Structure 1
Amino acid sequence: MRGLLGLVGSLLLAIPLAVAAPPNVYKTKQRIDAPRGWVKHSTPPPDQPISLRIALPQQNFHALEKHLFEVSDPDHNRYGQHLSKEEVEALVAPHKDSLDAVDEWLSGFGFEEKDLIRSPAKDWITITVPVSTAEKLLDTTYHVWKHTSGDMLVRTTSYSLPSNLHTHIELVQPTTMFGRVKPEKSTIFGLDEVTDVLHTASEALPLALGSGIIVDPSCNSTITVSCLLQLYNAVGYVPSNDPRNSIGITGYLEQFANIQDLQTFYAEQRPDALNSTFTFHSVAGGINSQNLSEAGAEANLDVQFAFGISHPIPATFYSTAGRPSQFTPDTRTPTNTNEPYTDWLDFILKQENPPLTISTSYGDDEQTVPEDFAKRICAGLAQLGARGVSVIFSSGDYGVGDGNSDPATQECFTNDGRNITRFIPTFPASCPFVTSVGGTVNIQEVAVSRFFSGGGFSDYFKRPVYQEQAVCKYLKSLPKGTYKGLFNAEGRGFPDVAAQSDRYRIWYRGRPVHIGGTSASSPAFAGLVALLNDARFKAKKSSLGFLNPLLYSRGVSGFNDITVGNNHGCGTTGFNASQGWDPVTGLGTPNFGKLKGIVT
């Protein structure tokens, strides 16, 4: 594979490129300060290939957003009337003037149509060029930057475009993107403490939670599929394998979902699913190694619980190759140095029938993702929602920023050159077009405390209408001046909901372990959403699609309010869980039985 990529890279480098100057004067498009932790390391080889993604304005995105909220509002007469792939693409397609202007600019550098990769809606153009050519295109200078972790990437802190193109190009990346996508988070606890034998029942009296919900007390120490079905009132619901329904899990950073471990998990916790599996899709060359020693804790957690809860609903696992920080000086193959989300979005938006429920347990500090780029990623996720897909993200495990309540050692500083203390939201959890899932623990449930449920307020996205009432009520309950200047009180609040996120028993590399994080709560919640879609199909209704307008209106009564706990971080105790929505556990944890009644 490396040889093939090298050959492709060589061919691309052989493209004759004109050196004629662009017809318009260049003006700065974006300039940033290098984020904390990154320093200039060296100069990249001039022939180092880099894949540039050029975003053209989506001229009718405002119309798409209007459609999205209408088809997602349970009180609207269009509820559930999702758009087709072609209808969505027509709404985000750029204006012909933008296409013509950008094509003319690229042709001035010798590019032909065969050199361009266009998205189905033509709102993205990708070209692979040597760094030296990228520098001419963007009137900039790239450097190799090194992070304190040892990661390296090729970036610049500013770039320019001809003045006539500023209205025709929203952004070009990778340029100023210094993000470091990470799981949210796969922390394995007590590897040596987990017994090979699963005790599925306790001699203690069952825990009665009201409304007929009975939970075995063993669930206080180990979370299983059975525990989640008990706790969230889904015991006895029998889903079908209706081919119209589907659930998907995304995998990044070489996290492989092992089928042998999945079968052992099924044998132990979901015997009726034994010998069933998932469909695998490779994205941008991603693989799913079945070498047991390469099984990923994150990937195993995601597929075992999402698919264990939702069986026999058709299931898919996506493995996306690459990571943002992957530059190596001795490599001459094209480097994917964007957020991997873009590659996955490219792939999934091309599909005629993407999974109707998709869970992602990865995220990044919002401030490390340039605002214009974050908004384009979020707009791509909105396209999925308009097509009837429920997009679910974990909210993170670092509370309001770094999970640290000690002011002397907190690490929450802005990236705008001021280096002032500020809460750090998580992206894409902060995108208003996704459902963000926080974490709880114990029976009765409280906000998780071994790590801290990510939550707070976006600095990029304003508060959406659907959560205006709930969030304003919470903000009014805060004592005046609380955390003044540390968060954006006008921003999109997250998480939206929560679920158990600690002591999950999974099988990992042939042995049982406990694992925790909101990367557990997200696939668990997704599994329940897939069950709700099953119930809707049985009732001859459409998929749920974008969930939030439903959740914050009719759906509120379908959640167990969590009122105990907080999410430490940035030298503070963070926000408190409280009555109603809060930026720790959102609206609370799901009651499947009640939600089923609401959506059918």
Structure 2
Amino acid sequence: MQILSATSVALCSALLSTLADAAATRLRPRHDLVRHEWHEPRHIQGWKRRDRLAISSTEHLLPMRIGFVQSDAAVQNAHSMLMDRADPASPLYGQHLTANAVADLFAPADEAVEAVKRWVVESGGVAADRVSLSANRQWLQFDAHVDEAEQLLRAKFYSYEHLQSGVNVTACPEYHVPAALQQHIDYITPGTKLASYGFSDGVKALGLRRREKDTDGARLQRRTEQAAATAATKATTAAAPWVTGGCDEFATFECIRAQYGLPLPSSLSKVTPVSGNQLGIFETAGQHYSQDDLDIFFSYTAPEIPDGTKPELRAIDGATGPATTQDTAGAEANMDFEVAMPLVWPQKTVLFQVDDEYYENAMTSGSGRVKGIFNTFFDAIDGSYCTFSAYGQTGNCQDAACVDPVYPNPNNNNGGGQAYQGQLMCGTFKPTNVISISYENAENSLPANYLRRQCLELMKLGLQGVTVVVAAGDNGVGGHAANGGDAHKGCLGSQHDIFSPVSLASCPYALSVGATKLQAAAATAASKGTFVEVGPTDFYTGGGFSNVYPTPDWQQSAVATYLGRAKLGFGGYSGDTVQENSGTNFNKSGRAYPDVSALGSNFYMVYRGGLAKGGGTSVAAPVWAAVLTQVNEARLRANKTAVGHVQPVLYKHPEVFTDVVEGSNPGCGTTGFVATAGWDPVSGLGTPIFPKLRDLFLSLE
């Protein structure tokens, strides 16, 4: 008998193992793989590739997620369904969908899900019972050993270290998917994505006076001038009168109610507010209202509101509520609630305070550590958004071009105790029927597909009957800081003369609001004590045309009429790419904004204990949000639904507006657009005539 040596035994074992692997490979279907994602130099800046993950290691169990592509057909179908529910001539008007029904609209086809799952099981060797579909049907999810993931994706996984923060993540330089399945797959995690983690080297602590400044990313949108000197007597009693001028000098609630025909507190106090119809207000960027300021303000302007009345706090991802001291109050937050609360009383308000204080500070520090300011809010009010895939974007962005906050916050060691260590909130809160947002980004400061995914979320909210009211900005056609400085600042193109639109105001599913100011009417017996509205001149209301979104159907006629009528000293180009042709300054084929306008100048407020004037579209947006909340009160009492996506109705009924025909919004070295009869990019359709607006929506089913 021949005895084999140990070496021969080892060789035989290796041969048998190889033959077994080959046989197993032959049993698995062959796929023609194509490279799906890979690292470019800009993706790995600030990162160092370390060791490759051990293939045989059991400690590296990778949580795999395969996101499905959002099809154009699904988006178009959802848009059509929204139009059916927003068109007053449609038999489906007002028949809103549930959140689950909306999520189902964007679910991938069953055939696509099964095909991708079959690939994972057959080519990756992953047992079928380990693979599941996410609740929103946007992801396949399974845990994989390193060898399984590398075999499936023809990839090599490494540990990458972020050199500034020391954070380590798992990623691969590139990965592959079957050519036949590439059309269904958005991207896979862990994959090539490397998060852009923030790192604090001196973010100011909560309670210190904040330096408020404009940045190219999240910009605090407000214009507040102290009406009294530092040593001015602070308001401490309700002794009246506190305003000595007319409404053109000091805009108070009496002025706003009279101008728009809003109901008086005496009539509102006789009815019980409709349950579940609170007005929601978005705040971030370190803006916190002062309860003391609210109490002083209400004692003067709305004595029917008891001391201590405050919005319901819905704190998102570790956010904190009111300012801890009066002298750290934020002008924006104070103004939003001082505008909105008296106009909807006795209905209540909700404060959506978004992000922990570490990130709120980062938004205004100018560091670029955080560029996105809305995604974590949408996550919290729509659980499906956390993993929603659309336009090549899935979940919150961690590319350097669009950094969103990350939770648990990885900056805990550098956050001064302000870094939230909980999980990202997904669907924690229900959206209110109306949400007011007074913050914005320049469109060009974020990737177009990032913005498109956010805008699609506004469509999804509209399908559920939610109206999102957004301020149009305060810098004319220049987007940012065109006032009081370089007339070209914030503008696009090599010559800085191309107009720069803002988002979310440019999203067609947002109700975009411009600002006006009150001007005494010509002195006649009939006009005594009355005021007309014109475009403001202490700042210039935002307005123009998007470079990302095309003109929606409901405003095409109004926009065409304006472009044919207005005498502009410049022309426009067409398309979603900025074109530097001589004399063309805007995208005439883009979504035009604002849709509507309201008072936004000389608003009298209480700020840090003293009297102040506030202004901007940050006043106008909560005015419109309050108006629509009152409209919803009337509809809900009549057993009808909330108004939801209102633009198709508004553009068909100009009679419910007071037209604003005077004003402009200069910027980028031009006079900007001019107000004319009908819709225009300065005042939109005009300002509300509340009784007509309410009666119009009450007439609809």
Q: Which bracket does the TM-score occupy, shorter chain normalised?
A: 0.7 to 0.9
* Equivalent residues of 1:180, 1:325 under 8 A apart: no
Q: Which residue of 2 aligns with 1:545?
A: 644
Which of 246, 250, 256 is residue 228 of structure 1 equivalent to?
Answer: 256
Deviation at 1:295, TM superposition (A): 2.2
Taking the aligned partners of 2:666 and 2:155, their CA distance within structure 1 comes to 45
Shift in CA distance, 324/249, structure 1 to aligned 2, threshold 3 Å? closer
Q: What one-letter code is carried by the residue in structure 1 that aligns with 2:313?
A: F
Percent identity (aligned): 28
**Which whole-Å deviations, capped at 9, do the CAs of 1:400-420 have from their partners, x for residues lacking one?**
114538887544124xxx676
Q: What one-letter code is carried by the residue in structure 2 that aligns with 1:599?
A: F
Higher-Rg structure is 2
Q: What one-letter code is carried by the residue in structure 2 that aligns with 1:306?
A: A
Q: What one-letter code is carried by the residue in structure 2 that aligns with 1:476?
A: G
Give ranges in structure 1 of 5+ residues lacking alignment.
1-21, 35-39, 128-132, 147-153, 204-216, 328-334
Q: What one-letter code is carried by the residue in structure 2 that aligns with 1:424?
A: S
Deviation at 1:230, TM superposition (A): 1.4
**Which whole-Å deviations, capped at 9, do the CAs of 1:9-63 have from their partners, x for residues lacking one?**
xxxxxxxxxxxxx9944256999x99xxxxx99724669xxxx996741662322
* Equivalent residues of 1:98, 1:168 under 8 A apart: yes
Q: What one-letter code is carried by the residue in structure 1 that aligns with 2:500?
A: I
Q: Which residue of 1 aligns with 2:482?
A: 404
TM-score (norm 2): 0.66
Q: Which residue of 1 aligns with 2:423?
A: none
Q: Aligned with 2:476: secondary structure?
A: coil
* 1:379 matches 2:456: yes
Deviation at 1:591, TM superposition (A): 1.2
Q: Which residue of 2 aligns with 1:366?
A: 443
- The structure with higher relative contact order (CA 8 Å, sep 6+) is 1
**Which whole-Å deviations, capped at 9, do the CAs of 1:147-169 have from their partners, x for residues lacking one?**
xxxxxxx9xxx999756675335
1:330-479 paired onto structure 2 within 5 Å: 337=370, 339-350=372-383, 353-401=430-478, 402=480, 404=482, 409-414=488-493, 421-443=497-519, 444-479=532-567
Taking the aligned partners of 2:464 and 2:619, their CA distance within structure 1 comes to 26
Shift in CA distance, 262/490, structure 1 to aligned 2, threshold 3 Å? same
TM-score (norm 1): 0.76
Q: Which residue of 2 aligns with 1:121?
A: 136
Q: Which residue of 2 aligns with 1:245?
A: 277
Deviation at 1:254, TM superposition (A): 2.2
* 1:535 matches 2:634: yes
Q: Which residue of 2 aligns with 1:65?
A: 79
* Equivalent residues of 1:170, 1:372 under 8 A apart: no
Q: Aligned with 2:634: secondary structure?
A: helix
Taking the aligned partners of 1:176 and 1:455, their CA distance within structure 2 comes to 34
**Which whole-Å deviations, capped at 9, do the CAs of 1:210-253 have from their partners, x for residues lacking one?**
xxxxxxx6221222222211111114352641104221001111
Q: Which residue of 2 aligns with 1:505?
A: 604
* 1:318 matches 2:352: yes
Which of 69, 80, 93 is residue 79 of structure 1 equivalent to?
Answer: 93
Shift in CA distance, 404/76, structure 1 to aligned 2, threshold 3 Å? same
Deviates more, 1:192-201 or 1:245-254: 192-201
Shift in CA distance, 89/294, structure 1 to aligned 2, threshold 3 Å? same
Q: Aligned with 1:566: secondary structure?
A: coil
Deviates more, 1:366-375 or 1:93-102: 93-102
Shift in CA distance, 498/105, structure 1 to aligned 2, threshold 3 Å? farther
Paired residue total: 536
Give ranges in structure 2 of 5+ residues lacking alignment.
1-30, 51-64, 143-148, 198-214, 384-426, 520-531, 573-583
Q: Which residue of 2 aligns with 1:482?
A: 570
Shift in CA distance, 140/580, structure 1 to aligned 2, threshold 3 Å? farther
Q: Which residue of 1 aligns with 2:184?
A: 168
**Which whole-Å deviations, capped at 9, do the CAs of 1:454-512 have from their partners, x for residues lacking one?**
11011111111111111110011134872343111111100000111122222223333
**Which whole-Å deviations, capped at 9, do the CAs of 1:254-288 have from their partners, x for residues lacking one?**
22233332222222211112243221111122222
Deviates more, 1:560-569 or 1:250-259: 250-259
- CA-atom RMSD, angstroms? 4.6
Deviation at 1:95, TM superposition (A): 3.4
* 1:265 matches 2:275: no
Q: Which residue of 1 aligns with 2:17?
A: none
* Equivalent residues of 2:96, 2:464 under 8 A apart: yes
Shift in CA distance, 199/182, structure 1 to aligned 2, threshold 3 Å? farther
Q: Which residue of 1 aligns with 2:226?
A: 190
Deviation at 1:448, TM superposition (A): 1.4
Deviation at 1:395, TM superposition (A): 0.4
Q: Which residue of 1 aligns with 2:28?
A: none
* Equivalent residues of 2:311, 2:349 under 8 A apart: yes
**Which whole-Å deviations, capped at 9, do the CAs of 1:185-213 have from their partners, x for residues lacking one?**
1221135358756865878xxxxxxxxxx
Q: What one-letter code is carried by the residue in structure 1 that aligns with 2:509?
A: F
Shift in CA distance, 477/319, structure 1 to aligned 2, threshold 3 Å? same
* 1:288 matches 2:324: no
Q: Which residue of 1 aligns with 2:310?
A: 277
